[in-house]
Amino acid sequence: MIRVNVVAPAVTKKEAYIMVVKIDKDTCIGCGQCVDTCPVQALAMQDDGKVGVDAALCVDCGACVGVCPVSALSM
């Protein structure tokens, strides 16, 4: 019989605590500045003319929050 020790991988920051940008749809004016700024293309314009976020792509960098002219985004 062969004995194998299995070591669980380290938990990454993303797995331990997932923070995704929040978008206030009532405040969003659909200017797209946040979409253009996102380094991982986690934000996209939606059919309603507002911004949507793909939580699986968001890396919590906050770049979008800083460029929103109406403060519609938060972490």
Spans of all domains in the chain: 14-74
Mean pLDDT of 10-33: 77
Domain 14-74 CATH (choose: 3.40.470.10, 3.30.70.20, 3.40.50.1980, 3.30.70.360): 3.30.70.20
Please tell me the distance from the alpha carbon of residue 27 to that of residue 50, in angstroms, as a whole number: 9
Look up residue 37 and give its two tokens: 């700024």
Percent over 70 (pLDDT), the chain: 76
Predicted local distance difference test score (pLDDT) of residue 75: 87
Q: What residue has token string 């700024």?
A: 37
Q: What end-to-end distance do the CA atoms of the chain give, in Å?
A: 52
- pLDDT for 30-54, tens place per residue? 999 999 999 999 999 999 999 999 9
Query: How do the residues of the chain divide into helix, strand and coil, expressed in percent and rounded to 5?
Result: 20, 15, 70
Q: Which residue has the higher pLDDT, 1 or 29?
A: 29
